């Protein structure tokens, strides 16, 4: 896939494609203008603040809720939608996974786009 296309603003997946003046995500069906995507990408990259799926800033110790079922790679475990996670950590330089948390199923690194602040 072309790495210059932005990830979906709704679900965070990188399967987007351009269509006239919009970007479209085939996974969730979300559409947004190309101009808006360029502006928001610049703003998000420059402020360095980790934000949830609704754009709310996250901080160490916050509680969050999963917004979709997440399959754990290398395991048959599925983290269920609606699961509340308490006391998250935001490690520095953790790659593309911004949130570190502990649940009953173990410790996980999650992307903030799959979380909403509780």
The full set of domains in the chain, from first to last, is: 1-47 (2.20.25.10), 64-117 (2.30.30.40)
* H or E stretch covering 39: helix 34-47
Residue 6 is predicted with a pLDDT of 81
Residue 46 is predicted with a pLDDT of 52
Residue 1 is predicted with a pLDDT of 44
Which of helix, strand or coil describes residue 79?
A: strand
pLDDT along the chain (118 residues), means of 10: 70 82 85 67 63 89 93 90 93 80 90 91
Q: Where are the beta strands (DSSP E) in the chain?
A: 17-19, 22-24, 31-33, 64-66, 70-71, 78-79, 84-85, 99-103, 106-110, 115-117
Which among 105, 95, 1, 110 has a CA at the least distance from the CA of 52? 110
Residues in Cβ contact with 3 at an 8 Å cutoff, skipping those fewer than 6 apart: none
pLDDT (tens digit per residue) in 46-77: 567 888 888 889 999 999 999 999 998 888 98
């Amino acid at each position: 896939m072309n790495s210059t296309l932005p990830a979906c603003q709704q679900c965070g997946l990188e399967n987007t494609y351009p269509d006239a003046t919009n970007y479209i995500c085939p996974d969730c069906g979300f559409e947004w203008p190309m101009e808006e995507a360029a502006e928001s990408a610049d703003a998000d990259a420059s402020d360095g603040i980790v934000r949830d799926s609704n754009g709310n800033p996250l901080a160490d110790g916050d509680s969050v809720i999963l917004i979709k079922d997440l399959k754990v790679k290398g395991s048959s475990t599925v983290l269920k939608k609606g699961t509340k996670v308490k006391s998250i950590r935001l490690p520095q330089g953790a790659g593309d996974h911004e949130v570190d948390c502990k649940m009953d199923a173990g410790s996980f690194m999650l992307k903030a786009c799959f979380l909403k602040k509780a």
